[in-house]
Structure 1
Amino acid sequence: MHSHHPKLYDVVIAGAGPVGLFLACELRLFDLSVLVLEQAEDQRSPLKRLPFGMRGLSAPTIEALYRRGLLDAVIEAQRANDVTGATKAAAHWAQQVRRPAGHFAGIQFFHDKIDETQWPYRLPSPAGASMMVTMESLETVLAARASAMGVEIRRGLGVHDIEQSDHDVIVRAGNEIFCGRWLVGCDGGRSTVRKAGGFDFVGTDPEFTGYSVEIEVDDPDKLQSGRTYTPTGMYTYAPPATVAMVDFDGGAYHRTLPITLEHVQAVLRRVSGTDVTLTDLRLATTWTDRAFQATAYRRGRFLLAGDAAHIHSPLGGQGLNLGLGDVINLGWKLASTIRGEAPAHLLDSYTNERLPLGAQVLDWSRAQVALMRPSRSTRALEAVIRDLIDTPDGATYFAERVWGVSLRYDLGDSDPLVGRSVPDFELADGVRVGEILRNGKALLLDFDAHASLQAVAARWGDRLSYVAKPVKNRLGLNAVLVRPDGIVAWTGRRAGDNDEAAQAASRWLSET
């Protein structure tokens, strides 16, 4: 198999969705050779433009895009792509007098009830807490950035056979053979890499089949617009043509039979309790609330990220955010491992930090399914949650979870800021921390220009940016060490903490 020695890439990535593309960009920041293999010939798909193809980006995702200089491009692409008014259609609820901030199983919470003083470490920043994009806008921007950075993207080549040795991974895609030091599966819920790598994938089976369809309705007055719960299920109707619905059939219909006009009409009649008539079925896709997760995100030279590592229902749109979060955590760790700069066990921290977060999101989606069951006891429980979510504490709690603003890794430090996303400190000259992080390097911010901290930073050479400048709001700190992924690794709250700063830098950047 090795007879003609295919080119050896540092990393081969299976899957050119947002997760695979963003990972490729992260790895290129460190000058690694990256090949992305994608099964689909064409990245465009009408489903990615559906109003229900809209995705809500969470705070950590928006921050990641901002810190890599991609946020403006995504906002611009979203404006340019939104010729159909999909943003408006998806956000028909957003035209209400009170501005909705998100939902839990369809129960909205509102901006006017959220108490942002509960999040003292969020400073004003160009990166807001939430925004809507289509998958198409996001993928277009990430593909352009990856290509510009020198990533090799090969479309129409799905990975179908993989062998792992001590030194590399041999990948067959189409009729070609590729070779990489590492293989990362960003190839979705039915991941080939996960199956070939022998990862355990465990979780809970589905309770429903969900449908997202674009239809023509003969008698639209029979359907209520917005989200409607019925004794047999739930449907959401965005006139004139878009319907999402869930049918509690144990997921029986998902990917088993072709989706026909007759079938969609029968399900819609059953779920809506009306005799509505459909005249055309333009687009249709099904999904379920199956919730599974890999028990580890790495086996040997195989790694998983995104839906390959965890799948759950699209309720609350947290899957994309979870996947991009995996990538921002993994990229720099894999890069420094490949470059021989990483401390021992750095790559293990990827699973250790991301797995518990994935488990939380899976439970969050299960909790929403529990609130959607068409039973009287569930509707009664929904009424309780509806009351709670409309209190300041309730709205703030749900916003915190849905927006991801409370994300914190347990780095074994009791300091409340360690393990969190670094606040977007603004320096005296107007430059923000988010802009300094664009080069993918760790950062030591020293608000008081201590010579001793500068000496600490110097030990890591150009792997650690050292910035000694006062900031406009220092939140009671005099220094802060930030990992390449924007996570705070250490805070200096009093002069002379330099030994701790050096220890923290050693832990993430290795001994010097």
Structure 2
Amino acid sequence: MTEDTVVYDVIIAGAGPVGLFLASELRLAKLSVLVLEQAAAPHSPLKQLPFGMRGLWGPSIEAFYRRGMLEQLATQPHVDLQPRPGSTASGPQRRGPGGHFAGIQFDATNIDSSRWTYRLSGPGDGQMGTEMEHVERVLTAHALSVGVEIRRGQGVEGFEPSDDEVTVHAGGQRYRTRHLVGCDGGRSTVRKNGGFEFVGTDPEFTGYSVRVDIADHSVLPMGRHHRFFPFIKGAAGMYTQWEPGAIAIADFDGGAGHRSGPLSLERVQAILRRVSGTDVTLTALHVASTWTDRAMQATTYRKGRVLLAGDAAHIHSPLGGQGLNLGFGDAMNLGWKLAATIRGDSPDGLLDSYTAERHPVGARVLDWSRAQVALMQSPALQGVVRDLINTRDGATYFAERVWGVSLRYDLGGDHPLVGRSCPDFEMEDGTRIGTLLREGNGLLLDFGRSLRSLDGLWGDRVRHVAGDVKDRLGLSAVLVRPDGFVAWASDAAPSREDVTRAAARWFASIERPA
């Protein structure tokens, strides 16, 4: 085994979307970043349509917008960027499904967005359906353009942490780094070798993603279909056929079918017949993989110089399309904190706040996933939820959860905006706040121009933006973290002491201007 004498600031295990996004975040701080990926090539049928379709919601769309990648993401022809009700930033208001809970859809026009006091329409205000391979392609191009080093065919095989660095073994090579981040998926080598405790619930079903040829397509209807077995408690099945022969199956077998042997044509046909209640005949099997609704989470996302993000930190069923969004949230939260820690200008405990903020968000998503699995097995509960989701209150509640509108970190402070995503204020000259976050800096928004004395106080870590906006939402000043979340806000004229105290918590020592 040869040794790379370079000591990287950060090595990331996994060149999936979360690892690539995190790598680019770290490069904003000019850190040296190496991404090690086990797969020799990024391509896979499961990353392409229809199986590779992913929904991106509010915080993820905002993250791409705030880092200048949203336009590239929206270049794919089948991408659907749907504005929220009342939004005019992405075109006219859209009607129809705004999302679903266990397959039960809510109507976008039945949502009362007036309850979202601190939301403003803007380029990052919407939802998007896109292909996983396209997302990775955009993120890879961006990461390479900012200087991230990516080595494929070199998955992390093991590592030894010390007080000062981590020695990483991959592809017959030994690498050295100040921090190692596992973004290497649900079966994460970093998580297992790092001794992270991974706890949760066992699966209720085995999921199958298959592409097949069907002898008679009229036998198997398109769309989503449930089948219940009334004399077997809790037993049920479901299949969804998006296009002829592209099928997802949920077989409530307690996960027994997951990785239990080769997926032959005969086996897939037998499962599909049982779940669908039809005598469908398959003539060819082109793609087949299994998955489950196993819901597990690391009890901490950090052990010394080793951290976890994305599926390495939490796994759950893909129901509701929350997994990728959860991972992007991890990357956006961790990137600036890890960078500040490595630079040595972070306040005490800043890196520990990564687990403190993101672990509750992950736990909430896992419970959301479990609730959908329970609902899939109960026609009575489905009827109740269907009635609820068709009300204005119900649709608004589900939209808040699915779209990430309800996301709020517990950052202390009394103002209701603290801990929430910053509204995309538009300055009088047309500049939007989201575009001012592209360099990974924090922002001090000084609408009343009363904080001039703070110019240059934090160097380039916090940009002082003095000037009025088209809609203040009743605010006088706002301190925005590099990830776009509000650390402090005031409706009244702010004091210098209030601002500096809040900034010290997130951006550390004050740097006096020269």
Does TM, scored on the shorter chain, surpass 0.5?
yes
Pairing partner for 2:181 from 153, 176, 184: 184
Structure-2 separation of matches of 1:198 and 1:239:
43
Alignment of 1:91-106 (within 5 A): 99-106=96-103
Matches within 5 A, 1:122-133: 122-133=119-130
User: Is 1:118–2:122 an aligned residue pair?
Assistant: no
**Compared with structure 1, are the counterparts of its residues 428 and 98 closer, same or farther at alpha carbon in structure 2 (3 Å cutoff)?**
closer
> Which residue does the alignment assign to 2:231?
none
What is the CA–CA distance in structure 2 between the aligned matches of 1:402 and 1:290, rounded to whole Å? 20
What's the % identity of the aligned pairs? 63
SS at match of 1:227: strand
- CA displacement at 1:401 relative to structure 2: 0.3
Using structure 1 for the length normalisation, give the TM-score. Answer: 0.94
* Distance verdict in 2 for CA 1:496–1:117, change over 3 Å: closer
Q: Give the 5 Å matches for 1:125-274.
A: 125-231=122-228, 232-274=236-278
Decide which moves more: 297-306 or 108-117: 108-117
TM-superposed deviation, 1:4: 5.6
Question: Does 1:386 pair with 2:386?
Answer: yes
> 1:438 matched to which residue of 2?
438
Counterpart-to-counterpart distance in 2, 1:482 and 1:5: 39
Instruction: State the alpha-carbon separation in 1 of the partners of residues 424 and 326 from structure 2.
Output: 21
Is this contact kept in 1: 2:448–2:493, CA < 8 A?
Answer: no
Report the Cα distance in structure 1 between the residues aligned to 2:52 and 2:296, rounded to whole angstroms.
22
Q: What residue in structure 1 maps to residue 309 of structure 2? A: 305
Structure 2 residue identity aligned to 1:63? E
Q: CA deviation at 1:456?
A: 2.8
How do 1:242-391 and structure 2 match up within 5 A?
Answer: 242-373=246-377, 378-391=378-391
Tell whether 2:395 aligns with 1:395.
Answer: yes
Using the alignment, how far apart are the partners of 1:365 and 1:383 within structure 2? 18
Query: 1:37, 1:154 within 8 Å by CA — same for their partners in 2?
Result: yes
Provide the rounded CA distance (Å) in 1 between the counterparts of 2:206 and 2:308: 26
Work out the CA distance in 2 between the residues paired with 1:165 and 1:239. Answer: 52
Query: Residue 11 of structure 1 corresponds to which residue in structure 2?
Result: 10
Residues 496 and 101 (structure 1 numbering): CA distance in 2 closer, same or farther, change over 3 Å? Answer: closer
Distance in 1 of aligned mates of 2:140 and 2:433: 25
1:321 aligned partner, one-letter code: N
- State how far apart, in whole Å, the 1-side matches of 2:116 and 2:277 are: 44
Provide the rounded CA distance (Å) in 1 between the counterparts of 2:61 and 2:322: 13
Query: 1:258 Cα shift?
Result: 1.4
Q: How many residues align?
A: 491
Q: In the alignment, is the contact (CA less than 8 A) between 2:425 and 2:433 conserved in 1? A: yes
Gaps of 5+ in 1: 89-96
* CA distance in 2 between partners of 1:503 and 1:455 (Å): 15
The amino acid of 2:12's aligned partner reads I
2:222·2:244 contact (CA, 8 Å) conserved in 1? no
Give the aligned partner of residue 407 of structure 1: 407
Matching residue of 2:20: 21
Q: Partners in 2 of 1:128 and 1:209 — Cα distance? A: 35
Q: How does 1:37-52 map to 2 (within 5 A)?
A: 37-52=36-51
Map Cα deviations across residues 116-144 of structure 1 (whole Å, 9 max, x no partner).
Answer: 11112110101123111111111000000
Q: Secondary structure at the match of 2:348?
A: coil
Q: Distance in 1 between matches of 2:505 and 2:408?
A: 18
- The SS at the match of 1:439 is coil
Whether the 8 Å CA contact 1:189–1:310 is kept in 2: the answer is yes
CA contact (8 A) 2:3 2:173 kept: no
CA distance in 2, matches of 1:109, 1:470: 37
- Of 450, 466, 469, the match for 2:467: 469
Aligned letter for 2:20? L
After superposition, residues 53-92 of structure 1 pair within 5 angstroms as: 53-76=52-75, 78-79=76-77, 82=78
What one-letter code is carried by the residue in structure 1 that aligns with 2:8? Y
Deviations 1:437-467, CA, capped at 9 Å, x for gaps: 10100000111111xx232343212211011
Deviations 1:310-338 (A, max 9, x none): 00000011010000000000000000000
**Distance (Å, rounded) in 2 between the aligned partners of 1:235 and 1:397:** 27
Cα deviations across residues 348-380 of structure 1 (Å, max 9, x unaligned)? 10000000000000000000000112xxxx101
Cα distance change of structure 1 residues 496 and 487 upon mapping to structure 2, 3 Å threshold: closer
- The residue identity in structure 1 corresponding to 2:321 is G
Structure 2 CA distance for aligned equivalents of residues 41 and 256 of structure 1: 26
Contact 2:476 2:494 survives alignment (8 Å): no
Paired residues of 1:54 and 1:87 also in contact (CA < 8 A): no
Q: Is the contact made by 2:4 and 2:173 (CA closer than 8 Å) also made in structure 1?
A: no
| 8 Å CA contact retained: 2:4, 2:175 | no
- The Cα of 1:239 is off from its aligned counterpart by 3.2
Measure, in 2, the Cα distance between the counterparts of 1:344 and 1:363: 31
- Structure showing the higher helix proportion among its residues: 1
- Gaps of at least 5 residues in structure 2 are 82-93, 229-235
Per the alignment, in what secondary structure is the counterpart of residue 21 of structure 1?
A: helix
User: RMSD of aligned C-alpha atoms?
Assistant: 1.5
Is the 1:371–1:379 contact (alpha carbons within 8 Å) kept by the matching residues of 2? yes
- Counterpart-to-counterpart distance in 2, 1:181 and 1:237: 47
What is the CA distance between 1:87 and its match in structure 2? Answer: 7.7
Q: Which amino acid aligns with 2:357?
A: E
Counterpart secondary structure, 2:74:
helix
Cα distance in 2 for residues equivalent to 1:505 and 1:212: 48
Q: Is the 1:211–1:286 contact (alpha carbons within 8 Å) kept by the matching residues of 2?
A: yes
Whole-angstrom distance in 1 between the partners of 2:414 and 2:174:
49
Whole-Å Cα distance in 2 between the matches of residues 399 and 370 of structure 1? 20
What's the TM-score once normalised by structure 2's chain length? 0.94
Q: Which residue matches 2:85?
A: none
- Flag the 1:254–1:458 CA change in 2: closer, same or farther, 3 A: same
Q: Deviations over 1:68-105 (max 9, x none)?
A: 000000001x22xx5xxx989xxxxxxxx951011000
Question: Residue 361 of structure 2: SS of its match in structure 1?
Answer: helix
- For 2:6 and 2:48, the matched residues in 1 are separated by 37
| C-alpha spacing 1:414/1:87, structure 2 compared with 1 (3 Å) | closer
Superposed CA offset, 1:440-495 (max 9, x none): 00000111111xx2323432122110111110000001111000000001112111
- DSSP-derived class of the 1:279 partner: strand
CA distance in 2, matches of 1:122, 1:44: 37
Query: Is the contact made by 1:448 and 1:468 (CA closer than 8 Å) also made in structure 2?
Result: yes
* Whole-angstrom distance in 2 between the partners of 1:87 and 1:258: 36
How far apart, CA to CA, are the structure 2 residues paired with 1:493 and 1:388?
36
Indicate the residue corresponding to 2:453 in structure 1. Answer: 455
> One-letter code of the match for 1:495?
A
